[in-house]
A = this chain, B = another copy of it.
Amino acid sequence: MQQLSIIKVGGKVVETPESLQQLLNDFVALPGLKVLVHGGGRSATKVAEQLGIETKMVEGRRITDMETLKVVTMVYAGLVNKNIVASLQAKGANAIGLTGADLNLIKAIKRPVKNIDYGYVGDVESVQVEELMELLNKKVVPVIAPLTHDGLGNMLNTNADTMASALAGALAKHYRVNLVYCFEKRGVLSNPNDDDALIDKLSHPLFKQYQQSGVIAEGMIPKLDNGFNALNKGVEKVIITNTEGLKQGFNAGTVLVL
């Protein structure tokens, strides 16, 4: 099987022009087939603010009412996605920008209302990679925005980490997949204030232990759940690292093991 790298980038990295260009240079330099999954939350918050739409977050998740859905569709699938695609084309990668609606790539279900009504937020239901694979095999580089659709005509806002994990899991049947979560820090830290406190190898039992003791908390928990889910679906390697780590051949940062 061919090797395929799925790189998820989010946070400031993707939304500062200089760091984005640097990241895309490193991404283009990666060998083999590849997919980029991006966020764009900061830009969405900024555009929402300019439009006078209040941003509501609960536990780090955006409450997506109808107006906010329009904003994230514009910002993620339009502004952020197409600027990445145009930049990659300029760097010689034949990029294509996609959401989960395109090619019916990722279908989701609107999150059921329990304690909190997240609005137009999608939980991944199915992944359909047949046409995506045709493109990959022609050396096309998919650039995926964090949006899905419900199969009923509506777009849904979906977490980019989850989309990367779902794609990696589905593609693991056809490729030897490396999944890289690329963010600001060196990897998973045993002390969030000490960048030297890198956990270089994190097993699932150790993760659960750290979670219980509070060493690993907040946004890192769903990210790691997504990472371990991908491993469980046959993804060969999952690492969590920063842009520096991206250059080191999938051996930097925190490596997850089952």
Binding site for B on A (CB under 8 A): 47, 50-52, 70, 73-79, 81-83, 85-87, 89-91, 94-99, 101-104, 130-131, 134-135, 138, 140, 147, 149-155
Oligomer copy total: 2
Instruction: Return chain B residues, CB-CB under 8 Å to A147.
Output: 82
- Supposing A86-B149, A86-B154, A98-B96 touch, asked if A135 and B140 sit within 8 A by C-beta, the answer is no
The secondary structure that dominates the A interface is helix
Report how far A89 CA is from B155 CA in the complex, Å. 11
- Supposing A97-B102, A134-B134 touch, asked if A78 and B73 sit within 8 A by C-beta, the answer is yes
Report how far A102 CA is from B155 CA in the complex, Å. 20
* A90: nearest chain-B partner, CB-CB: B153
* A130: nearest chain-B partner, CB-CB: B138
Report how far A70 CA is from B135 CA in the complex, Å. 28
Partner of A131, one of B85, B89, B91, B138: B138
- A sample of 17 cross-chain residue pairs with beta-carbon separation below 8 angstroms, ordered by A number, consists of A47-B74, A51-B51, A73-B78, A73-B82, A74-B79, A78-B78, A82-B155, A85-B149, A86-B155, A89-B104, A89-B149, A90-B149, A95-B101, A96-B103, A96-B131, A134-B138, A135-B135
